[in-house]
Amino acid sequence: MSNVIQLLERLGEEANLSEHTLENLQKQMANLELSELTQEAILQGDPQALESLLGLSPNLCNIVHQDDDEESDDNEEDTSDNNEQASSQQAIAM
Cα angle 17, 23, 42; round to 5: 55
- At closest approach, how far in Å is the CB of 81 from other proteins? 16
Taking CB under 8 A as the rule, does residue 81 contact other proteins?
A: no
65: contact with ligand SAM by CB under 6 A: yes
| CA–CA gap between residue 11 and residue 34 (Å, rounded) | 15
User: First vs last Cα of the chain: how many Å apart?
Assistant: 38
The whole-angstrom separation of Cα 53 and Cα 50 is: 5
Contact flag: residue 63 with ligand SAM (CB under 6 A): yes
29 binds other proteins (CB under 8 A): no
- Mark the segment that binds ligand SAM (CB under 6 A) among 1-9, 17-25, 62-70, 81-89: 62-70
22 binds other proteins (CB under 8 A): no
